[in-house]
Amino acid sequence: MASRDPARPNVVFILSDDQGPWALGCAGNPEIHTPHLDGLAASGVRLSRFFCVSPVCSPARASLFTGRIPSAHGVHDWLSGPSPDDHLAGQRLFTDDLADAGYRLGLVGKWHLGANDVPRPGFVHWYAHPSGGGPYYGATMMGRQVDGYLTDALTAQAVAFIDQEAGRDEPFYLSLHYTAPHKPWKGQHPPEFEALYASCPFASCPQEAAHPWQPVGADGVPVGGEADVRAALIGYFAAVSAMDAGIGQVLATLAARGLTGSTLVVFTSDNGFNCGHHGIWGKGNGTFPQNMYDSSVMVPAIFSQPGRLPEGVVYDSLVSGYDLRPTLLDHLGLPDTGDGPGRSFAAFGDRSGAEVVVFDEYGPVRMIRTESWKYVHRHPHGPHELYHLEQDPDERHDLAHAGRPELAELRDRMDAWFSRHADPRLDGARLPVNGSGQHAPAGLGAFEPAPYRTEPR
């Protein structure tokens, strides 16, 4: 009945879409209702400073599965439309390692890495979203219109997969990739979840003045933002709570099948999100030039396997999405066949006393972040940013022109790291990545010529 061995556990990998690090009750937000995710954190380890590898969906997702940075796997922006190309063709994912080790694999939800309608090798169940986003009612999955609310349909597919696999001898892996809380928001979510926020003041989402880098379209109208801010906030929060309820059903199914102790449950998001934070509605491409604020590059992250992982622990060290692959394989006792820069954090805290530094990239925009400092470099001409995070954790005071010696040191470290880990053929530093989408494998022809687009990202 699936794996009953805690040392060779089943895996349920739950990925949300556009969920900011602040959008979780156990992360300190008293306004949002996430009881099941809060319970999952209480049963395991919450990583309070987990960074995506790129602050937009497709490159971040590619990095989670390959363990590589965008300048090594070639996905530099969100994929525009239902791309027929497999953007990870010829690259080894951690799911390939699991398949080779005898795991039965299932995908439910958003893939968004090209060839979405074609199951990846080793998958016995494939129920993929055709693109990157869309409506919650009347959605289409695998060529058929979904009855009812999409989050519920994805949950039902996940529960059915677990029920089916529970009767087999092999361990299973399930990728459950919700589209929540990606827009659209207003009027898109069940009334019972919207009602949770009818009187919410949304103090956790201060509506700041529009960011000066907010893109402006050809008509002069700002791209992004929300005409009805309150309705958007209600919808965003409701989307998270409805997803949380679905996750509760998945966890209850594991418990009913007696699989809780022999199943590793991982929850995280592809990229962060700003709901008015820094004057932005969006993530990295909510501004142009693209931004690297912590609210865009940090995501919630929880790991739980009762009896094998510590319970109720918060891990505060810096961790990156490129660390996920080696960590997962380490936990499963499998060799890591990847060639990315990540290291396992399976010991949760043991980094041998070394300073932990995380790096991000979004096309020509790159970031290095330490405990104390963040430097953002924009090829070829800037603007660059420098923040002293110990004194300025909200990133309000740019010190790039203050003559600080830390800037040159951080720049040198960043350049050396990307030179070591980037593939010169796929290096994004010289590509015209502007946040408006990628429609072909990496190269000058892969990106839209227009600087901005108004379609949902």
64 pLDDT more than 90: yes
- At 348 the pLDDT is 67
Residue 327 lies in a domain: yes
Residue 114 lies in a domain: yes
453 pLDDT more than 50: no
What does the pLDDT look like over 291-312, one tens digit per residue?
999 999 999 999 999 999 999 9
Residue 49 lies in a domain: yes
Residue 398 lies in a domain: no
- At 456 the pLDDT is 37
Q: What is the reported pTM?
A: 0.96
Number of domains making up the chain: 1
Please write down the long-range contacts of 126-130, taking CB distance under 8 Å and 24 or more positions apart. 127/154, 127/157, 129/177, 129/179, 130/82
- Determine which of 229-233, 416-420, 451-455 has the lowest per-residue pLDDT on average: 451-455
238, 193 contact by CB (below 8 A): yes
Name beta bridge partners: 274: 282
Confidence label for 454 from pLDDT (cuts 50, 70 and 90): very low
Three-state SS letters, 383-394:
CCEEEECCCCCC
Which among 14, 12, 11 has a CA at the least distance from the CA of 269? 14
Distance CA 445, CA 255 (A): 49
What does the pLDDT look like over 328-349, one tens digit per residue?
999 999 999 889 999 999 876 5
Distance CA 116, CA 114 (A): 5
Confidence label for 251 from pLDDT (cuts 50, 70 and 90): very high
Mean pLDDT across the stretch 82-111? 95
- At 444 the pLDDT is 81
Is the omega angle on the peptide bond into residue 135 within 30 degrees of 0, that is, cis? no
Which among 156, 194, 191, 190 has a CA at the least distance from the CA of 176? 156
- At 338 the pLDDT is 86
Residue 277 lies in a domain: yes
Residue 230 lies in a domain: yes
Q: What is the CATH number of the domain that holds 77?
A: 3.40.720.10
What does the pLDDT look like over 352-366, one tens digit per residue?
556 789 999 999 999
72 pLDDT more than 60: yes
94, 325 contact by CB (below 8 A): yes
Domain range for 113 is 10-349
What does the pLDDT look like over 107-142, one tens digit per residue?
999 999 999 999 999 999 999 999 888 999 999 999
457 pLDDT more than 50: no
19 pLDDT more than 50: yes
- At 7 the pLDDT is 92
Please provide the average confidence, as pLDDT, over all residues in the chain: 93
320, 61 contact by CB (below 8 A): no
221 pLDDT more than 60: no
Name beta bridge partners: 298: 51
Confidence label for 455 from pLDDT (cuts 50, 70 and 90): very low
189, 242 contact by CB (below 8 A): yes
- Is 186 buried (19+), middle (13-18) or exposed (0-12) by CB count in 10 A? middle
Q: The tokens of 383 are what? A: 């603007």
Residue 115 lies in a domain: yes
Mean pLDDT across the stretch 257-283? 97
φ/ψ of residue 20, rounded to 5? -65, 155
Percent over 90 (pLDDT), the chain: 87
